[in-house]
Amino acid sequence: MDYLGIDVDVQILAPGTHIEIANKLGLKRGSVPFLRVGEIVIQGSDAIIHWAEQENKSNATLGSLNPEVIAVEKRLDDKLGVHIRRWFYSEAILEAPALVKPIFMHGISAWEKLKLTLKWPIICRLMTQGMDLGHQQGLESLEIIKQEIEWLESLIGDRNSYLVGNTFSRSDITAASLLAPLVTPSEYSCSKLMSLPPRAKQESEEMVDRLFWNWVEAQYKTHRS
């Protein structure tokens, strides 16, 4: 939105409340993000970027018309997004939930914080079922993350530039933002809140010299500072 010069009022929704609000807006799933524009509700970051590119009055573009950009973004969403989430929560929710609570508490009202505290055991249970969390599942996801990072690094290549062609696109935003909780660049809005549980931290420390790590930091520095 910032890149395309579109103003948005970002509201952080507490887990649980996000489903109530989504239902009120007529959505079948609670999944965030969703964007309300007058009477219209657009759900999912991919659909939101499509909408934003059509609304866009500036000369900026995020490559929505390039099928290669969309294909790279889809693979990132389906693999890296899903498995980074399952890997992180498999350890964090099941073994170190105290690390997750401050992230969910961030930016919500005192009333929502109280509701979240009361509902915390239910939320952990629903997340465990909904995302299929578990020790073995976490290990499986880590293997997939490692394979997908190899693929990502083959796209970044020796030129260390953008994923598709020579211009910044929605595929770069997707890769950088999905990896931001791991890399925690200082320009990432949650970098101070994010804290990895012990095994994930150890894995991440072994990745700091990787090409993808530097690339994510560079994307944030160039486009978010």
The residue within the footprint of ligand GSH, chosen from 14, 17, 30, 69 (CB under 6 A), is 30
The residue within the footprint of ligand GSH, chosen from 85, 106, 113, 119 (CB under 6 A), is 85
The residue within the footprint of ligand GSH, chosen from 6, 44, 50, 61 (CB under 6 A), is 44
**Contact stretch for ligand GSH (CB under 6 A) within 24-32, 92-100, 151-159, 202-210:** 24-32
Q: DSSP labels for 82-103?
A: HHHHHHHHHHHHHH-HHHHHHH
Does 137 help bind ligand GSH (rule: CB under 6 A)? no
Distance of alpha carbon 142 from alpha carbon 200, whole angstroms? 9
Question: 119-147 burial by CB neighbour count: b if 16+ within 10 A, else e?
Answer: ebeebbeebbeebebeeebbebbbebbee
The residue within the footprint of ligand GSH, chosen from 11, 23, 31, 117 (CB under 6 A), is 31
| Integer-rounded Cα radius of gyration of the chain | 18
**Closest separation in Å from C-beta 13 to ligand GSH:** 9
**Closest separation in Å from C-beta 217 to ligand GSH:** 22
Block residue for tokens 């590119």: 53
Q: What is the 3-state secondary structure (H, E, C) of 140-191?
A: HHHHHHHHHHHHHHHHHCCCCCCCCCCCCCHHHHHHHHHHHHHHCCCCCCCC
Nearer to ligand GSH among residue 85 and residue 224 (C-beta):
85
- Tell me the angle at which helices 170-183 and 45-55 cross, rounded to the nearest 10 degrees: 140
Does 32 help bind ligand GSH (rule: CB under 6 A)? yes
Does 167 help bind ligand GSH (rule: CB under 6 A)? no
**Contact stretch for ligand GSH (CB under 6 A) within 26-34, 58-66, 87-95, 107-115:** 26-34
In the chain the first and final C-alpha atoms are separated, in Å, by 15
**Contact stretch for ligand GSH (CB under 6 A) within 30-38, 138-146, 154-162, 206-214:** 30-38
Residue ranges that bind ligand GSH, judged by CB under 6 A: 19, 29-33, 44-45, 77, 81, 85
